[in-house]
Amino acid sequence: MLKNVPPVLSPELLKVLCEMGHGDELVIGDGNFPAESVGRDAIVIRADGHGVKEILDAVLTVIPLDKYTKNPVALMSVVPGDPVKPTIWNDYKAVIAKHGEDPKAIEMTERFAFYERAKKAYAIIATGETAIYANILLKKGVVQ
């Protein structure tokens, strides 16, 4: 066991976060995200039973976001015509701000463009999140 490490960060996830370098990207996917097919070339970590907000909060305790890019955070845009209004995005902004990061540094990405970007991610965390459009992509920054 380690001190001051959120318990939702499994040893496998901590190892992956430590291995990631500046500019590497991490996807935290909701329960509907096709983590295994999109993540064929990535490390896929299961975090069933946990929500995206919980994992996001834990991840941001140990890694910074990239300060050298305008938008180190990306969300999947709602498909045009879909009446869903994701309220979880406000939770993400609060978590990002809680960790001293800029909650305005979020890029909205079209669904299939998000999938293409996720295919290049270093790792994908597959959660049990039930909220729709709850996927988030983070670009790791420099630990100072």
Catalytic positions: 22
Cα–Cα dist 78/89, whole Å: 11
Q: Which residue has the tokens 């990535």?
A: 42
Cα three-residue angle 113-62-118, rounded to 5 degrees: 15
b (16+ CB within 10 A) / e for 72-106: bbbbbbbeeeeeeebebbebbbebbeeeebebebb
DSSP code, position 66: P
- CA 78 to each of CA 13, 18, 31, 105, 142: distance values in angstroms, whole numbers, following the listed order: 28, 32, 16, 18, 31
